[in-house]
Chains A and B, each alone.
Chain A
Amino acid sequence: MRRQSDPPRGTSLALTLLLAAGCGAGARRNAVTFHDPNMDFSLVRTVAVMPLANLTPNPHAAERVRDTLATMLQATGSLYVVPAGEVARGISRSSLADAQAPTPEEAVQFAKLVQADALIVGTVREYGEVRSGSAAANVVALSVSMMEAASGRVVWSASSSEGGVGAGTRLFGGGGQPMNVVTERAIEDLLDKLFR
């Protein structure tokens, strides 16, 4: 009788692994996200993606992530992204002291200039290859915020990271995913959080 009620050893091992995997995935997906409960996001039709701050040793990381972010935002079909050249012109016309982190007043003035409903600002924290022992893989970590054009308040903020050396890479090698794929996944995760 007792023997029959005990789960088989294999089942408990599988359950433990599943739980661990779930915890791992959950840790990534449940990264900090803030949505202003009073904001009606359906009113945001046009956004300007500001130059991102770059905290990585790769000098082109921020520009490449910004290109991908702008295209993917546009590709959702629900937002129009102000052309990067027009954003650059707006920055030079409004003499922003720090285009990567505008103050609320500057954000309001700038948004009026480029006729955007919101600004997207952000930081690329990690971009490139990471190593763990003999294994190497690409990783990207970024955080972005949306500033409302009318008040300059932050109405949405989220962060995401993708890639890195996982168990599969450690065991079998392979070098992980290409940088472009990792970046797209991280931004896809951010967009999921924005449109949730």
Chain B
Amino acid sequence: MTMTCQRRVRTGGPIGAGVTLCAALCAALVTAAEETPPAAPGAPPQRLVVLPIESLVPVAAPLTEIRRGLVDRLGLRGVATLDDGRMEEILARHRLRYTGGVGREMAAAFREEARALLVVSVDLYDDGPPPRLGCIARLVSTDDPPRVLWAGGAARTGGDSPGLLGIGLELDPVVLRDDVLRKLADDVAAETGGQPSGDSRVRRDKPLPKLDPQRAFGALAAAETVRRVAVLPFDDRGAAPYAGTIVALQMVRALARRAPAETIEPGLVREALLEARLILEDGGPSLPQLALLRSLLDADLVVAGRVGEYLDLGGEWADPSVDLAVQAYDTRTGRVAWSSIGARRGAAGVVFFDLGRIHTAHALSEGMTDQLVRRMFAR
């Protein structure tokens, strides 16, 4: 909080009055963050729980610092969060260890304390140089069953805009982390009635890159009849560790943002798979498994797939690549409603001077899943 206040003061301008005004504004925001807004009688308090961050990277990422930074930035934007001690107490009391999704039990455990849970997964981390950080996040309600209220993400590398003679390179992982967390906090604040600051360098609402699947078959005859969509963990075929989980989360994010149907919270899907002891065979669900998923999750469409390649090497000139095969099954008929394959590289769209380069597999898979969902539900 202090660091952001100082930065605001610095960028506020040289005039003393402006500095004073900015400092007063920051102080007011901090005070607002520390006070919990009054809740209506019987309704859950209007605050969030930022769950411990899930790591989907093969290296040790500073998850505690990332979470702390996110909580602080949310506070500065007027979004109240449950304090850490209380959250840990509830997690310990209910013996909840998995924080990468929200099941019924977790939602019930926090219902008295908060309106929604913020689930964050770190899918890219590298100290560099240049440093890289990527997060996928979603806001899940504490209703029964829990619902995905918002899904998004942010990723940046220090080499995103190197500029002339590399003067735009960002080599400090802390500065980069701040920037990614500001973007994430802004998005969450915008969704929860907070005050986004809009000062992140991570671009918002950028146009979709041309990352359509190369081959696709679509037979979703009546997209408007699809009410609920479940995403199964993707099969990971020799790709990077956690690639299947990362791409499935990207798929959930894309569906939650762009599909006209409700996306089932992955925590509920995980709970159903564990409850029914469903082991997905090679290549996706069978017909009885689809019927079971329909009865357990009330899902009209089940999305499954395979990640053939998920290459995200470090370095300034690294060329990420993602290879995806995605199928969507209509659970009412048991038939394949969508099938597509697509493989993309980060440098494929470069014409000259590195313009159009996509620097991370996070951004590549984000664009690919966005385009895929757009086409899947196209009328």
Contact = CB atoms under 8 A, between A and B. Distances in A.
What range describes how many residues of B lie at the interface? Answer: 20 to 34
What range describes how many residues of A lie at the interface? Answer: 20 to 34
B284 interface: yes
Contacts of A150: none
Nearest to A73: B217
Nearest to B336: A83
A67 B281 contact: no
A109 interface: no
A77 B217 CA distance: 8
Contacts of B339: 70-71, 74-75, 81
B287 A75 contact: no
Instruction: Please report whether the interface of chain B is mostly helix, strand, loop or mixed according to DSSP.
Output: strand
A182 to B, nearest CB: 11
A85 B237 contact: no
B253 interface: no
Given A59-B238, A74-B217, A184-B215, A178 B285 contact: no
A89 B278 CA distance: 13
Contacts of A70: 339
B325 A67 contact: yes
A71 B217 contact: yes
Chain A CB count within 10 A is highest, among B216, B329, B343, B345, for B343
A134 B261 CA distance: 53
Chain A CB count within 10 A is highest, among B216, B287, B288, for B287
B39 interface: no
B245 interface: no
B283 interface: yes
B192 interface: no
A87 B285 CA distance: 10
Chain B CB count within 10 A is highest, among A74, A84, A88, A184, for A84
A180 B323 contact: yes
A89 B215 contact: no
23 contacts: A60-B308, A63-B308, A64-B237, A64-B308, A67-B306, A68-B215, A68-B325, A68-B341, A71-B217, A77-B217, A81-B339, A83-B285, A83-B327, A83-B329, A84-B283, A84-B284, A84-B327, A85-B284, A88-B281, A89-B281, A92-B281, A178-B343, A180-B214
